[in-house]
Amino acid sequence: MKKIILGVAVSAALFSIEASALSTSVIPVIAATSPSKVDWSTTTGVQNVGNVPAANVVYANGSSAATKFLGNAILAVAAPNTIVYKYVNGTAADILTYVFTTGATPPTGFVANQNYIVHKRDRDGSLMAPMSATGLPGTAVVNAVTYNSLPNFALPATVTATTCVATTAPSPTAAGLNTCTVSSTEVLLPAPATATGLAGKAGILGIADVDAVQFASPLNGANTANLLTTKAATMGSIPVAAQVFGIAVNLKLRDAMQVAEVASGALTNALCASDAVVRETEACMPSFTSEQISSIFAQGRFNDWTNLSYGTNTNLVSANTATKPANTAVQICSRAAGSGTLATVNTVYENAPCTASNEAIQAATSATVNPVAINTVTTNEGAAGATKAYYSTIGSGDLENCLKTMDSFSATAPVTPGYGNFAAGTGGVPTFTPAAAAGGFRWAVGILNADRNTANSLPYRFVKIDGYAPSLENTANGKYRFWSELSAIKATAATALTGGSLGLYNAMIDPAIIAKSTATNPAGFTTGYMGVASTAVSGATAFDPLRPVMPFTHQNLANTAGSVNHCRAATIMSGATKYLPWLN
C-alpha cells in the first residue's frame, strides 16, 4: 500500500506549483483562507477541517446494508477529476467518514464546488436512525451515536499512521475513490448538540431499511431507555429507495438443494446438480417458497432440514444421504435486534410486529438455541430435529462470516464480532472449531441485501423465492416480494431536511444515480436498489435498468410525506397511471 502525500497550501501561487507536481491520485491543495474549503496537510490525514462550515457536514447513520449505496451516491455527486476520500476507523470499521468536493450542478441541498464531510455510522444498524431522531431529553440529538473524530486521523499522538490506497482512479467524467485506514485506535465523538440541519448547522440523516414505527417494538430494538416504544410511532418516514433483499444459503446447502430439485424434477437440467459452471446460472438457482421461508425462520417450526420436502417421498436429507452434515438441524445466521434487515424479514414473512399474535424469528421466549460465548456448535445445537440454532450478528459482514464458517466449520473463519444472545442482542462471540468426523459442516441460511457477493467469492449463494430470482425487474413486476423501502427517519412527519442532509437525500433518491449503484449477480441478473414510485417518469413503456423505479409503495393512499409503513401491503402509488405501464 502506498502513502499519499498531501501538500500544504500557503498561497495561490504555491497551490499552482504543488498541483502540477502531484499525481492525479492526490487531493488538490486548497487555501486555508477560503472559509468553505478544506486545508490539507502534508500528512495523509485531514487538517483544519474546521474550515468546512457546519452546513457542509452531515452525520448519517442507520442501515449498514445501504452504506455501499450511500458511498456510490457520494461518488456520483463529487466533481470529476477529484478524489473522494473514505476514512475507515482502524478499530471500528463500521464507522466511516467521506470527504469530497461537489461538482458544478449537485442535487438541491448541496452547494456547487464546495467540500463536504459525511460521517456514516453502520454500527447497530437501522436502529440508529430513529435513535438519532428521538432527541433524548437534556442531551444532544445524536448523543448515543458516535462518529469519527476526523482530525485525529492526522494526529501522531493518537494515530500511528493513516494509509490511503487508491480504490478507483478519477477521470474527466467521474471522481475517484481513495480508502484511508487508521492503523491504531481512533477517537470517536458524538455529533455536536447543534447538529440539527437548520440555520447553517450540521445535518442529520438517519436511514433505515424500514419505517420508524417498526422500531417501536422490542423485536426491533425498542426499550425504555431509548424511548422508541413511544417515540418511534410519532416519527416520519420518507422513502429513499426500494432495496432488494435475499435469502442466502451457504454453498453446501445450495448444492444440496440443487441435487434434491434435480431428483424431484423441479430442475430439469441434470447439470444443475453437477456442472460447476452450469449450476451458477439463474436457471439452476434453487428456490424456497414463501411458506417455507416463514417456517424456517419462525420460532417453533421447521427445526430440521428433513422438513424441506421435494415431492412425496423425498426431502433434502434423504436426497443427499452421502453429503449431508453430521447434524441436520437448521442453522440460521441472523442479525441483532435493531437491524433493518431483520425487521424486513420479520414484517414480510412473519407479520411481526404488525400483529400481536405472531411468531417472530427473534423473541425472548423462543425455544431455540440462543448460544452465548459458546466454544463449539456441536455442544449447543442439540439432537438433529430437536431444535434450530440462531446466531445473531452485528452487521452484514459478520453474517457473511457466519455463513462462511458454517460452510467450512473452520476456526479460521469465526463469527466475530457478533452477538450470541439472540433475544437481547448482547453476549459473547460464537467461535467454531473444526469437526473431527465427516460431515464437519452445517447447512445454514441467512438474510442479506441482494447486492452482496457479486463475484461469488464467498461460500454462499442467494436462492429464488417462489421461483423468482432477486432481480430488480422481478421485484418491480411484483413477482419477487422480499424488498423494502429504505426510509429517511425524521423526528416528525413535518421535520424538514436541509443543507447537506437534503443534498445527500436528493442524490440517493435519483434513479439515474441509483442505477450506478446496482449490482450484477454472477447468475446474470441486476439487483440492488431502485427509485421509489414517486420518481417514475411519465410515458415510460418498459422497466428501464438505466433509470430503475419501483412502482409499489408502502405509503398511505394520499402518499402523505412521512407515511411509509411496512405493515401496510405494498400497492401501486395512488393516482398515478404512469407507474406501471410495462404491466399493462
Task: Give me the pLDDT at residue 566, please.
Answer: 93
Q: Read off the pLDDT band of 361 (50, 70, 90).
A: low
Residue 308 has pLDDT above 50, yes or no: yes
**For all residues of the chain together, what is the average pLDDT?**
77
Residue 584 has pLDDT above 70, yes or no: no
The number of helix segments (H) and strand segments (E) in the chain equals 11, 25
Q: Rounded CA gap, 27 and 170, in Å?
A: 11
Q: Read off the pLDDT band of 186 (50, 70, 90).
A: confident
**Residue 75 vs residues 49, 90, 516, 517: alpha-carbon distances, Å:** 20, 22, 10, 10
Backbone angles phi, psi at 578, to 5 degrees: -75, -15
Task: Give me the pLDDT at residue 493, please.
Answer: 84
Q: Read off the pLDDT band of 48 (50, 70, 90).
A: low
Kindly report the number of other CB atoms within 10 A of residue 290's CB atom: 13
Give the rounded distance of the alpha carbon of 138 from its chain centre.
Answer: 31
Question: What value does the mean pLDDT take over residues 363-378?
Answer: 36
Least confident of 187-196, 447-456, 489-498: 187-196
The model's pTM is 0.84
Residue 22 has pLDDT above 60, yes or no: no
Task: Give me the pLDDT at residue 46, please.
Answer: 57
Question: What value does the mean pLDDT take over residues 260-285?
Answer: 96
Task: Give me the pLDDT at residue 55, please.
Answer: 87
pLDDT digits (tens, 9 = 90+) for 501-519: 999 999 999 999 999 889 9
Question: What value does the mean pLDDT take over residues 34-49?
Answer: 45
477 grid coordinates: 413486476
Task: Give me the pLDDT at residue 189, please.
Answer: 85
Task: Give me the pLDDT at residue 41, please.
Answer: 43
Residue 496 has pLDDT above 50, yes or no: yes
Task: Give me the pLDDT at residue 165, please.
Answer: 81
Kindly report the number of other CB atoms within 10 A of residue 20's CB atom: 7
3-state secondary structure of 235: coil
Q: Read off the pLDDT band of 471 (50, 70, 90).
A: very high
